[in-house]
C-alpha cells in the first residue's frame, strides 16, 4: 500500500492515524497492484437534532478525518463512503473497504467520532446524533466530488447501524437540500446494514431517486427490523427504488467476522428497539406513544443488554449482493 496525507491534512490528522493503523499492516486480499491510501480532513459542524431538523447551519466547527483507499487502475473510479456504527471504525469496516477495492471501487472510511473526542456511543447515543452523521456524510461527498481520480457521478454511501442511518437518510431530498454540496451533488446509491428506522421524519418518503438497499437480520434485538419493513413499504409506495433483504437468525453486527457465532450480550449498551418516534413541531422528536419529547438514553422505552453475533451465511450473502448491486449501478466490467 502507498500511504499519504491528503490536501490540507495537518497535525490533527496525526492523531487520527491510529484509527487506521491496522490498514497499514494488511494488504487487501484479491487486489492486484498497489492500493493508495490518503488521509483527508473533513470540515463539518456539530449540531443537535433540533437544530438540524430546523435547518440551522451554524454549529460548533468540527474537523473530522477519513481515509481514502484508491485501488489500482486508470481513469476516474467510482467510490463508496463507509460510515461506521456506534463502536467506531473497526476491522469489519476495514474488510468492506477491501471487498470494494477488489471490484475496482475506491473506499472512503469516514471517522465521525475521533474529531469529536468520542470513542464509542454504545452506552450513550446522545454524544452525536444520527442526523449529524448525515451532515458529515454530505461534507465528505463535497470533498470527494472534487478528487481527480474519482467520478463525481458514481459515489455511493454504505453504513452500519448508526452509520447506516446516515447512509440511508442521505437519500432524503429534504436533507440533501439543507446540507448537500452547493453544486447539487447527490449520492449514486445508498446501502444500509441493520439500519435504525424507528423515527419518522417529515417528508422522509421523498427521496433523491437514487436506489436504496437495506440488509437486516431478523433476530436483531439491538435495532429491530420491524420499523425498517414499514419504512421500506412507505418509500416503495412513494415510488422509491428500495429493497429490504432479511436474514433469518442473523443478529446485529452479523458481519462482525471477529466475533463468535454465539450471540454476546452487551449489558451496558442501550437499545431503542422498543421505541417509536416521529418529528414534531419546531424540530422536536416526540415519542409516538407518550407524545413527549423522545430521549435516546433515558426514555422509558429504552432497554439495555442487546446482542451481537457473527453470521457467516448472512455476511457472505450480503457481500455478494452488495458487489453485484454496485457492479450494475456503477457499470463495472465483470
d(CA 72, CA 326): 18
Question: How many angstroms separate the most distant Cα atoms in the chain?
Answer: 57
The predicted-structure confidence for 268-291, as pLDDT tens digits, reads as follows 999 999 999 999 999 999 999 999
Output the average pLDDT for the chain: 92
pLDDT cut 90: percent of the chain above it: 88
Contact 37, 2 (CB under 8 A): yes
- Which residues, in sequence order, are bridge partners of residue 36? 2, 70
Decide if pLDDT at 189 tops 90: yes
What mean pLDDT is predicted for residues 189-206? 98
Residue 9 lies in a domain: yes
> Residue 3's pLDDT is what?
44
Contact 219, 308 (CB under 8 A): no
Beta strands in the chain (DSSP E): 2-5, 36-46, 60-70, 77-83, 106-111, 150-160, 190-193, 199-200, 212-217, 242-247, 264-265, 270-271, 277-279, 285-287, 303-304, 307-308
Residue 304 lies in a domain: no
Question: In Å, what is the CA distance from 269 to each residue of 87, 279, 294?
Answer: 10, 25, 18
Residue 45 lies in a domain: yes
Decide if pLDDT at 88 tops 50: yes
Task: Name the residue with higher pLDDT: 250 or 183.
Answer: 250
d(CA 109, CA 95): 11
Residue 295 lies in a domain: no
Cα angle vertex 213, ends 260, 47, to 5°?
85
> Residue 66's pLDDT is what?
98
Q: Which bin fits 276, alpha (ψ -120 to 50), beta or left (φ > 0)?
A: beta
* DSSP string over 58-75: --EEEEEEEEEEE-S-SS
The predicted-structure confidence for 15-30, as pLDDT tens digits, reads as follows 444 444 444 434 445 5
Among residues 179, 136, 187, the alpha carbon closest in space to that of 158 is found at 187
Q: What total number of domains does the chain contain?
A: 1
Residue 296 lies in a domain: no
Residue 279 lies in a domain: no
Residue 169 lies in a domain: yes
CATH code of the domain covering residue 218: 3.40.50.1820
Residue 284 lies in a domain: no
Decide if pLDDT at 2 tops 70: no
The predicted-structure confidence for 44-85, as pLDDT tens digits, reads as follows 999 999 999 999 999 999 999 999 999 998 899 999 999 999
What mean pLDDT is predicted for residues 122-138? 97
Please give the residue range of the domain that contains residue 112: 2-258+313-329
d(CA 39, CA 230): 38
What is the sign, positive or negative, of the torsion defined by CA atoms of 280, 120, 92, 252? negative
> Residue 31's pLDDT is what?
61
Amino acid at each position: 500500500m502507498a500511504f499519504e496525507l491528503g490536501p490540507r491534512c495537518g497535525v490533527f490528522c496525526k492523531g487520527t492515524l491510529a484509527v487506521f493503523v491496522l490498514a497499514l499492516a494488511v494488504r487487501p486480499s484479491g487486489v492486484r497492484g498497489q492500493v493508495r491510501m490518503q488521509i483527508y480532513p473533513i470540515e463539518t459542524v456539530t449540531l443537535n437534532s433540533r437544530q438540524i431538523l430546523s435547518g440551522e447551519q451554524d454549529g460548533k466547527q468540527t474537523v473530522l478525518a477519513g481515509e481514502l483507499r484508491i485501488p489500482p487502475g486508470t481513469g476516474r473510479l467510482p467510490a463508496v463512503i463507509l460510515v461506521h456504527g456506534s463502536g467506531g471504525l473497526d476491522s469489519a469496516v476495514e474488510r468492506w473497504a477491501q471487498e470494494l477495492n477488489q471490484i475496482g471501487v475506491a473506499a472512503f472510511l469516514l471517522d465521525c467520532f475521533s474529531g469529536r473526542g468520542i470513542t464509542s456511543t454504545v452506552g450513550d447515543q446522545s454524544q452525536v446524533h444520527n442526523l449529524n452523521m448525515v451532515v458529515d456524510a454530505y461534507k465528505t461527498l463535497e470533498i470527494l466530488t472534487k478528487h481527480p481520480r474519482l467520478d463525481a457521478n458514481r459515489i455511493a454511501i454504505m453504513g452500519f447501524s448508526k452509520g447506516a442511518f446516515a447512509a440511508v437518510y442521505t437519500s432524503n431530498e429534504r436533507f440533501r437540500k439543507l446540507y448537500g454540496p452547493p453544486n447539487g451533488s447527490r449520492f449514486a446509491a445508498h446501502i444500509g446494514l441493520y439500519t435504525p428506522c424507528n423515527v419518522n421524519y417529515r417528508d422522509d418518503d421523498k427521496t433523491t431517486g437514487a436506489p436504496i438497499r437495506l440488509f437486516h437480520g431478523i433476530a436483531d434485538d439491538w435495532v429491530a427490523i420491524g420499523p425498517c419493513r414499514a419504512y421500506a413499504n412507505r418509500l416503495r409506495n412513494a415510488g422509491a427504488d428500495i429493497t429490504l433483504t432479511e436474514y433469518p437468525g442473523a443478529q446485529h453486527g452479523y458481519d462482525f467476522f471477529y466475533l463468535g457465532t454465539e450471540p454476546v450480550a452487551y449489558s451496558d449498551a442501550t437499545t431503542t428497539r422498543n421505541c417509536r418516534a416521529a418529528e414534531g413541531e419546531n424540530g422536536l422528536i416526540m415519542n409516538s406513544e407518550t407524545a413527549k419529547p423522545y430521549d435516546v438514553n433515558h426514555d422509558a422505552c429504552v432497554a439495555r443488554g442487546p446482542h451481537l453475533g457473527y453470521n457467516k451465511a448472512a455476511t457472505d450473502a450480503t457481500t455478494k449482493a452488495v458487489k453485484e448491486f454496485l457492479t450494475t449501478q456503477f457499470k463495472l466490467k465483470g
